[in-house]
Amino acid sequence: MQKFAGAAEWVPARGGLPKLEAALPDCRGCDLWQDAEQVVPGGGPAKARMMLVGEQPGDVEDKAGEAFVGPAGRLLDKALEAAGIDRTEVYVTNAVKHFRFERRGKRRIHKTPAVGHIVACSPWLRRELEIVEPALVVVLGATAARSLLGTGFKVTEHRGRPTELPDGTAAVATVHPSAVVRSDEYRRDFGLFVDDLRAAAALLT
């Protein structure tokens, strides 16, 4: 595993989301800032009851500077609506705040963050959790699960079922919406994704 300095020295210990967002562009905790267009902060209410944590920004998010606004974000919006969850009432963010990619011609192709990137960026996510204090965290995909639940947690084995983060916060894991976008069985997998989101929402009622 490649070791990076980690983000801890750049993460403000006090203040709310505006202060956190203002500090993000200065982070040099790993090497991803060098090639990405910009850092992508989380977004949503400062005291949301539900927080959704994905993997990393994609190409569209990297250019826009907003989380979950590309194809996976549009699918997430559709799934949240189908599950009866108001997107404006949830906080969305990523385990890694910069886009990791490889170039193929003019295209930038998604590349899964390395373990070193996940570890280096984790202080930002921990601080978001401290500020937002969600009653429930929805863990979207394997990278988010590695960051929040450890290497032994398998999303495929536990998806849609209640679990807990190490600090005791209630959580539900499911696939990342990008997996549904790419699925050959779209209708089936979209339905399963919505079922997981409904199961998460039910824990808040």
Write out pLDDT tens, residues 158-185: 999 999 999 999 999 999 999 999 999 9
Average pLDDT over residues 39-68: 97
Alpha carbon of 105 to those of 8, 71, 109, 120: distances in Å?
Answer: 35, 21, 10, 29
Average pLDDT over residues 191-205: 97
Which residues face 43 on adjacent strands?
92
Confidence check: pLDDT of 46 > 70: yes
Confidence of residue 1 (pLDDT cuts 50, 70, 90): low
Query: What is the CATH code of the structural domain delimited by 8-202?
Result: 3.40.470.10
Q: How many percent of the chain have pLDDT more than 70? A: 99
Query: What was the pLDDT predicted at 3?
Result: 82
Distance of alpha carbon 146 from alpha carbon 53, whole angstroms: 11
Distance of alpha carbon 116 from alpha carbon 58, whole angstroms: 19
Confidence check: pLDDT of 19 > 80: yes
Query: What was the pLDDT predicted at 110?
Result: 95
Residue 61: strand, helix, or coil: helix
Query: What was the pLDDT predicted at 116?
Result: 96
Domain borders along the chain are 8-202
Contact 165, 148 (CB under 8 A): yes
Query: What was the pLDDT predicted at 205?
Result: 84
Residue 60: strand, helix, or coil: helix
Which residues face 101 on adjacent strands?
110
Contact 62, 99 (CB under 8 A): yes
Average pLDDT over residues 46-64: 97
Mean pLDDT of all residues belonging to the chain: 97
Write out pLDDT tens, residues 100-138: 999 999 999 999 999 999 999 999 999 999 999 999 999
